[in-house]
Structure 1
Amino acid sequence: MMKQASLPNGVRLAYTDAGSGEPILLVHGFCGSSAYWQKVIPALAERFRVIAPDLRGHGGSSAPDEPYTMERMAEDLVHLLDALEVERAALLGHSLGGYVTLAFAERHADRLTGFGLIHSTAYPDDEQGRANRDKGMESIRQNGMEPFVKALVPKLFAPDSAAARPDDVRLAREIGLGTDPKGAIHTLQGMRDRPDRRHVLQETRLPVLLVAGEQDQIVSPAKTFTADGPHVRQVLLSKAGHMGMLEVPDDLTEAIGQFMRSF
């Protein structure tokens, strides 16, 4: 059941809150929502408190007409933890959620027990990536969400699994179409302008989880595995594209559980 939190900055965030124990904050990707995590939350909630918000401009959350920098979206999550009286949590972000996670870890490491990237990267957009963000913004301005989401969703899944997973593809499309167009445009701009945050992974003293899909067409494993060391746990999901939480939920749940038990 979705809940609502009204934040001090005027943003209203929808979120789910399940289970009890050490808190985990799961943050979805672009044109996603907390529903992305529906296959992993029940198992995780048997051992942990799992909080999954809809980011601003996505799902059931409000879509203020202002810049959506990764830093500003991270502040939304700080306010959410405050509203839920959660002092520290493990923060795991998928794709866009990973960019927000890195901004959070850079500024608010004291609020974290650990953090991770799931099908995400600490690299900034390259020149082609920034151009693609601009094209996406223009497409949504001109034609709305439907053509954009229709083109995006097939790329999210492993090439040989999309046809075999029509229900998951349909779910991703429905969630994407629920994204506020204004929110999507602001988010594309924020992703385009985000900085390089590889140093956050290298310099942190917190435990780090890096999860990549072997068949990811959006973020290659090489772009995810940009840090190594005793504080970093790397997990490669062999049968996954960009949507491990839907494609191989049991494997992802196990990876998260092992990470949580490591500290």
Structure 2
Amino acid sequence: MPYADVGGDIRLFYTDDGEGPPLLLVHGWGADSHQWSWHIDALAAAHRVVAVDLRGHGYSSVPDDGNTPRMMAEDLSVLLGILGVPQVVAVGHSMGAQVVSILAVEHPELVRGLVAVDPGYGMTDRVASRFPKTIAGLRGEHPHAAAERIDKWCTNAGTPPVIRRWHKRRLYGMPPHVLAQAFEAMFTAPDAIGVRPASDDYLARRRCPVLSIWSDQEQASWESGLLKDPASKVVCWEGASHRLHEERPGEFVDLVEEWLGAQS
């Protein structure tokens, strides 16, 4: 499988399948590109599909610091140049939706469209008030147990056990400092964009079409007010969990393909 040296001693693992308009698939916090195993074959039937392990995750390099969405987005901009991909539709789940949104804002020439899957942004003050305690747990004596407590929020009674087990095993294989750095950078660092109103201000700078898929109607309604391009669309799958694209992979691929087709 391919690796790419993107600078600063960072080596990214990625896969590159199919032919056609390129898609970039970006996983969430504490996961890796295997998260897209439910979707790659179907998407690669009509697209070139690049799925990457972000720095600190999966088979990619694990630096001592800099494991943040902003640095991850910079890595991706370099990777696209190495692959000779001038422009992509970038698909990101959770933290990955932050990463691809940053890529779209800071490198708008590289992103012709975004798919944000139950994004890791737009948190309210009520939710964010718990984050300092969460980060203390991630930096504490039992970081993986703290990460597992976070992950329980990501599922519900309808989530298949295999998906719960899959994510638990990956979390326990993660370097603890990466979990802590990435979570802090998403939500509590000075330049974090994960909590309102910082989310509003930053995400309003996205100029490309956005398909945003949420499991929460309030969050979906909130983001609909931020989207600038008339081709943008917000969908809510009520009753789904944070892992909605893994729970309903066929519906997810159909929705993405339908939306992409409307952009052609």
Q: TM-score, normalised by structure 2?
A: 0.87
Residue 104 of structure 1 is matched in structure 2 by 103
- Greater shift after overlay, 18-27 or 146-155? 146-155
Counterparts in 2 of 1:14 and 1:125: CA distance versus 1, 3 Å: farther
CA contact (8 A) 1:55 1:61 kept: yes
> Among 203, 211, 222, which residue is 2:213 paired with?
211
Counterparts in 2 of 1:213 and 1:176: CA distance versus 1, 3 Å: same
Q: Distance in 1 between the 2:97 and 2:225 partners?
A: 13
Aligned residue type for 2:141: N
Cα offset, 1:230, TM superposition: 1.7
Residue 167 of structure 1 is matched in structure 2 by 162
Residue 140 of structure 1 is matched in structure 2 by 138
Counterparts in 2 of 1:174 and 1:220: CA distance versus 1, 3 Å: farther
Residue 179 of structure 2 is matched in structure 1 by 184
CA contact (8 A) 2:144 2:176 kept: no
Counterparts in 2 of 1:77 and 1:171: CA distance versus 1, 3 Å: same
Cα offset, 1:153, TM superposition: 2.5
Cα offset, 1:261, TM superposition: 1.4
Q: Distance in 1 between the 2:53 and 2:40 partners?
A: 14
Counterparts in 2 of 1:137 and 1:238: CA distance versus 1, 3 Å: closer
Aligned residue type for 1:257: E
- Give the unaligned 5+ runs of structure 1: none
How is 1:1-263 mapped onto 2 (pairs within 5 angstroms)?
2-120=1-119, 122-123=121-122, 126=125, 129=128, 131-157=129-155, 159-162=156-159, 165-192=160-187, 193=189, 194-195=192-193, 196-199=198-201, 201-214=203-216, 220-228=219-227, 230-263=230-263
Counterparts in 2 of 1:227 and 1:41: CA distance versus 1, 3 Å: same
Aligned residue type for 1:212: W
Aligned residue type for 2:106: R
SS in 2 for 1:261: helix
- Give the unaligned 5+ runs of structure 2: none
Q: Distance in 1 between the 2:206 and 2:66 partners?
A: 28
SS in 1 for 2:98: helix
Q: Distance in 2 between the 1:115 and 1:97 partners?
A: 11
SS in 2 for 1:211: strand
Cα offset, 1:160, TM superposition: 2.4
Aligned residue type for 2:44: A
SS in 1 for 2:102: helix
Over residues 164-211 of structure 1, what are the superposed CA-to-partner deviations in whole Å (9 max), with x where a residue is unaligned?
x11111111112222221211211221122132435554544221111
Q: Distance in 2 between the 1:169 and 1:200 partners?
A: 32
Q: TM-score, normalised by structure 1?
A: 0.87
CA contact (8 A) 1:67 1:190 kept: no
CA contact (8 A) 2:117 2:214 kept: yes
Q: Distance in 2 between the 1:124 and 1:239 partners?
A: 19
Q: Distance in 1 between the 2:206 and 2:148 partners?
A: 38
Aligned residue type for 1:213: S
Cα offset, 1:48, TM superposition: 0.7
Over residues 86-145 of structure 1, what are the superposed CA-to-partner deviations in whole Å (9 max), with x where a residue is unaligned?
11111111111111112111111101121121101553663752x544333322332344
